[in-house]
Amino acid sequence: MAATTRTRSRMSVPERRALILDAATQLIGDRGFRGMSLRDVAVLAGITEAGVLYHVGSKDGLLVAVLEHRDEVDMASLAERLGVDVETLDEDPLPVTLPALCRALVDRNALQPQIVRLYATLEAESLEADHPANAYFRERETWALGLFARAATTSGVEDPARTSLAMLSLMDGLQLRWLRDPTRIDLVHEWEALSEVFLGGPRA
């Protein structure tokens, strides 16, 4: 125990913050934001509750930090899978087709069920107007619909906005079924089948 304490005391500020965010991500995914306490995070991270507060300010601040951190990690991974720079994901039109974008997202999410569960849980909880992530998820959905629409434009879709809404809804619904029964549902395989029907092929 003493050796562990000494090791943690030598950690840099970014390393300690990353440890806190990892612990919070796991707990929120398992229990939801309402079911997690700062003490829970402190115990899992192996530091004091005061130490958690020092790095994130409050429980709401911790939630925002977790979401922002995950966005950075996921966008970097998505860009890498698509073979583009992260900044490219802000371009209009997007230099990536809608099928390619969707497949890259599904491939990424299939490898991180805990993170997908985290977002699914928080998105449902944040439907409450007073939830600290309510504004975040409103803005995130607007951003995601825009991203899909710009990719749909690249694919020559007649109504990019409507197609964007349909595909995001389809992906979210399939992921919920997968999270419910991951041993029966193969996320990537099922998305390929749906893509074949709705987009004319998994990578077209």
Residues 65 and 43 in one domain: no
Question: Which stretch of DSSP H or E encloses residue 34?
Answer: none
| Residue 148, domain extent | 59-204
pLDDT tens for the chain, 204 residues long, are 444 444 455 788 888 898 999 999 888 878 888 888 999 999 999 999 999 999 998 999 899 889 988 898 899 999 999 999 999 999 988 999 999 999 999 999 999 998 898 889 889 989 999 999 999 999 999 999 999 999 999 999 999 999 999 999 999 999 999 999 999 999 999 999 998 888 775 444
Q: What is the pLDDT of residues 178-201, one digit of tens each?
A: 999 999 999 999 999 998 888 775
Same domain, 45 and 77: no
CA pair distance 42, 120, nearest whole angstrom: 24
Q: Which residues contact 31 (CB under 8 A, 6 or more apart)?
A: 40
Distant-in-sequence, close-in-space partners of 121: CB < 8 Å, separation ≥ 6: 28, 29, 32, 33
> Residue 13 maps to which CATH number?
1.10.10.60
Say if residue 91 is in the same domain as residue 147: yes
This prediction has a pTM of 0.81
